[in-house]
Amino acid sequence: MRVDTSRDETDAERYDRNWIDLMQELRVAQTGVQVLAGFLLTLPFSSRFGDISGGHRMIYLVAFSLAVATVGLMTAPAALHRFLFGRHEKDVLVLAGGLYAKLGLAAMGLTLVTVVVLIFGVVVDDTAGIIAGVVVLLFYALAWVVLPLSLVRRGTRRQ
């Protein structure tokens, strides 16, 4: 992890700031994921759920499982904080919390791709579901991975 030396702060202050930033980022993502998981939780209890094919049921189960995993990954930093609170391990907390956040974002992207595949598959057909899922996957890959990495590289080259 590259350390920003342009700020006038101690290591402890930097870890505190990074932790606060991470928690703010997770708050944004957690709400959407929890709403999505709640929505997916209600689907099997709707009257039309029995009409979908076995393949669509499997896609639903994958989407729901990914949503549950995403909620777990996005809330893991809070649980980790409870265990490490007061132990002067903020550096470990920030590092592990950042890893959980990255994994949670990846799981969230996969959840959304799977939901898109399911919805387009049920509403239109399976081919449309796969095409829509690939488009969403490419969008997230570009917006969440390729663009940020290119900006990091550009910033590194400027220094």
- List pLDDT tens digits, range 99-134: 999 999 999 999 999 999 999 999 999 999 999 999
Q: Rounded distance, CA 61 to CA 38, Å?
A: 14
Tokens 């930093």 -> residue: 77
Q: Is the pLDDT of residue 92 over 80?
A: yes
SS (H, E, C) 49-97: HHHCCHHHHHHHHHHHHHHHHHHHHHHHHHHHHHHHCCCCCHHHHHHHH
Q: Rounded distance, CA 134 to CA 158, Å?
A: 34
The listed range with the strongest mean pLDDT (16-20, 61-65, 76-80, 84-88) is 61-65
What is the predicted pLDDT for the residue at 89? 87
pLDDT bracket for residue 87 (50, 70, 90):
confident
What is the predicted pLDDT for the residue at 5? 59
- In the chain, domain spans: 11-112
